[in-house]
Structure 1
């Protein structure tokens, strides 16, 4: 039997998407969790699942660059098959992105390319958008850029607040992120240059689940 795809998950905060990845692991194995924040609540999810954790607090390093380099070196030692960003607030080193080219994914709480950056739920409501959602994408040297893999969306209601909208989008994130990781592990999703590729079975399943793909 082929060994499952190994995944390193990078977190900075509550780790709800890490928990979803732990619970949804079918064809991949979370080999490690890395955080830049020693107080990240998500570390508890990893410990409860007996997943090795490494923490790189900013205070332990002379500079932000030194902190990022230490994280990169840790990942190089592990050499996971896939790196999943789950609420990781540091911008990755270009060297890390190059080393793991086509093997880093991120989930962002908007329907990219709209609303890159922070405070997406507030900005969506202020803009009067009718739909909102989340995007899983491969990571490149930009911020919230890189080839889009899959999106899930929900309706925006007139009575929505940023909090109510965020809660609905978070449920979508918890569904689409582990699904995407499993599809990558099964080689149902791939990356050729800057083009995301999908197996026919993946396209059918995405449609059944209401996910939108970039094909």
Structure 2
């Protein structure tokens, strides 16, 4: 029996990557395939399609929140009138249009001012809505990709989906790895690291000199209540960094050489484990 996957993401993160678009790359143009589109191709064309079914694609962006709409830009029109979208509009997964799987469960608490006491209860309500939807879909595994939210209630010890939510992260997350790059700035951290710099404060851009590291990778890990701190199921360290890379050039390389393999091998590993393990 196929295991049921639910995919959760922030569209604004995919928009920042120029997902689904052709981007400048070393004087050429290359297609920026998103992890979601890569997964769809794997489910259509590889053994993963015999192991999993994709049940839903949930995104947390807030339709009437100006900050989210500014980050989405023209992606906010979802491909209408020739506007960009994160995957080809005719993309299908296992015979079903991907657009039919799209669902919005907005993390509306983020629109409240920092310090507003309602943010905490709003975050709990958001995670409860996610859990209810996962349960209704009878999800076996939930894959996070660029979800710009730190989960708490969903992954606390004893929660129904604790240990069943995994994340694909564009950096190594093992605590003991010299290439460890956790958090939302993982790709930028790697790029500056290749230049022998560590950013100490992203507001002031204060730096300190470090030994240059010219490689980065990706991790497929279980989600816990920390920031990319859960147990690593699969990692790939196969992306060479050139100091003159742009952020999008490095993003393209890391997707292609490390993150996509980590995603496919990680899912294959999960499928090899006993149900409920």
1:1-215 maps to which residues of 2 (within 5 A)? 3-13=1-11, 14=14, 16-25=34-43, 26=49, 27-37=51-61, 39=76, 41-42=85-86, 48-49=97-98, 51-59=100-108, 63-97=122-156, 98-113=159-174, 114-127=180-193, 128-153=212-237, 154-171=239-256, 172-187=258-273
Larger Rg: 2
Report the CA distance shift for 1:54/1:141 in structure 2 as closer, same or farther (over 3 A): same
Query: Contact 2:141/2:164 (CA < 8 Å) preserved in 1?
Result: yes
CA distance in 1, matches of 2:36, 2:248: 20
Structure 2, gaps ≥5 residues long: 20-33, 44-48, 64-75, 79-84, 112-117, 175-179, 194-211
Query: Contact 1:24/1:179 (CA < 8 Å) preserved in 2?
Result: no
CA distance in 2, matches of 1:99, 1:23: 30
Report the CA distance shift for 1:50/1:121 in structure 2 as closer, same or farther (over 3 A): closer
CA distance in 2, matches of 1:23, 1:163: 22
Q: CA RMSD in A?
A: 2.9
CA distance in 2, matches of 1:6, 1:42: 23
2:262 is paired with a residue of what secondary structure? helix
CA distance in 1, matches of 2:234, 2:164: 15
Deviations 1:119-145 (A, max 9, x none): 222212222222111111111121101
Query: Contact 1:31/1:51 (CA < 8 Å) preserved in 2?
Result: no
Instruction: Give TM-score scaled by structure 2 length.
Output: 0.59
Query: Contact 1:152/1:176 (CA < 8 Å) preserved in 2?
Result: yes
Structure 1, gaps ≥5 residues long: 193-215
Query: Contact 1:4/1:185 (CA < 8 Å) preserved in 2?
Result: no
Aligned pairs, number: 189
Cα drift, residue 191 of structure 1: 9.1
CA distance in 2, matches of 1:59, 1:95: 17
2:190 is paired with a residue of what secondary structure? helix
